[in-house]
Amino acid sequence: MRHRPVLLVIAHGSRDPRHAATVHALVRRVRAMRPGLRVETGFLDFNIPSVQGVLESLAAQGVRDVVALPLLLTRAFHAKADIPAVLRDAPPQLRIRQTEVLGPSPLLLTALERRLYEAGLTPADKSSTGVVLASAGSTDPEASAVIAAIAREWRHTGWCAVRPAFASASLPRTEDAVRELRALGCERVAVAPYVLAPGFLPDRIARGAAEADVLADVLGPAPEVARVLLERYDAARVPVLAAVGA
C-alpha cells in the first residue's frame, strides 16, 4: 500500500471561539473529501492542541512522515518565520515538509464569489457591482502586493471594479474602499472578506462594510478552500514519497 503522510493543518488560533470552530469545520470537510487521509489540526497560539503537542503525539504513535500546511492565505511572517521555527523543534524522527500557503489560487476566487452569491448577489450583478477585497492586512510588503494582484485579476472576471482593503497594517481600510467604489459610480458595492475564519480583524472588516450593500461571509469551510488544502498537500506529498522510496 502506498505510504500516505499525515496532513497537519497549522492554524493561527484566536481567543474568539468562532475561529477554532471554523477551522475544525474546514478540516472535517477535507476529511470528507479525502477518506482515509489522516488530518490533524494544531494551533500556533490561544487554542489547543498546540502544533508542538500534535507533533510529539504523532511521533509517539510511530508516525514518520508529515505534511505541514499553514492555514494562511498569504506568505507573510507566520509562514516565513513562526511555522518553520515550530517545525524545526519537532521530534527528530519526524520527516516534515511544509506546503505553500493557500493563496493565491483560482479556487479561492471561486470561493469568494460563492460567498457573495450566498449573500444575495447573482452573476448578472457583476458588471454593475464594485467589490472590496478585504484582507486582514500584513506588515510584509509581499503579502500586501499579493492582495493587490488578486484584486486586479478578479476585476478582469467581469466586476465593475475591485479594490483591495486591509483591516490592519496597510491602507486603505474597508470603509475607504467602499466610498471609493461609490465615487466611481458602481451601482452597488459588496465587501468580500478574504479571510478564513471569524475573529477580531474580520469583525473590523464587517464594521467597515457598514455603508456597503452586501457583506459576504468569511471563506470558512467552503468546498473550494478544502480543495486548495488537498492540492497543497498533494504537491508537497510527492517529494516526501520520493524521499522515503514509497
Rounded to two decimals, what is the model's pTM? 0.94
**pLDDT score recorded for residue 73:** 97
Q: At what angle do helices 174-184 and 200-208 cross, to 10 degrees?
A: 30
Q: Are 149 and 162 in contact (CB under 8 A)?
A: no
The answer to whether 196 and 220 are in contact (CB under 8 A) is yes
Secondary structure of the chain in the HEC alphabet?
Answer: CCCCCEEEEEECCCCCHHHHHHHHHHHHHHHHHCCCCCEEEEECCCCCCEHHHHHHHHHHCCCCEEEEEECCCCCCHHHHHHHHHHHHCCCCCCEEEECCCCCCCHHHHHHHHHHHHHCCCCHHHHHHEEEEEEECCCCCHHHHHHHHHHHHHHHCCCCCEEEEEECCCCCCCHHHHHHHHHHHCCCEEEEEECCCCCCHHHHHHHHHCCCCCEECCCCCCCHHHHHHHHHHHHHHHHHHHHHHCC
Joined grid coordinates for residue 154: 478578479
The residue type of 4 is R
Only one residue has cell 483591516, namely 167
Residue 237: per-residue pLDDT = 87
Instruction: Give residue for cell 500584513.
Output: 138
The candidate with the shortest Cα–Cα distance to 219, out of 124, 104, 61, 129, is 104
Question: What does residue 40 show for φ and ψ, rounded to 5 degrees?
Answer: -115, 160
Q: What is the pLDDT of residue 76?
A: 82
* Nearest one of 182, 167, 170 to 212, comparing CA atoms: 182
Q: Supply the pLDDT for residue 240.
A: 53
pLDDT tens for the chain, 246 residues: list them: 457 999 999 999 999 999 999 999 999 999 999 999 999 999 999 999 999 999 999 999 999 999 999 999 998 877 888 999 999 999 999 999 999 999 999 999 999 999 999 999 999 999 999 999 999 999 899 999 999 999 999 999 999 999 999 999 889 999 999 999 999 999 999 999 999 999 999 999 999 999 999 999 999 999 999 999 999 999 998 765 444 444
Question: Residue 78 has what pLDDT?
Answer: 79
Q: What radius of gyration, in Å, describes the C-alpha atoms of the chain?
A: 19
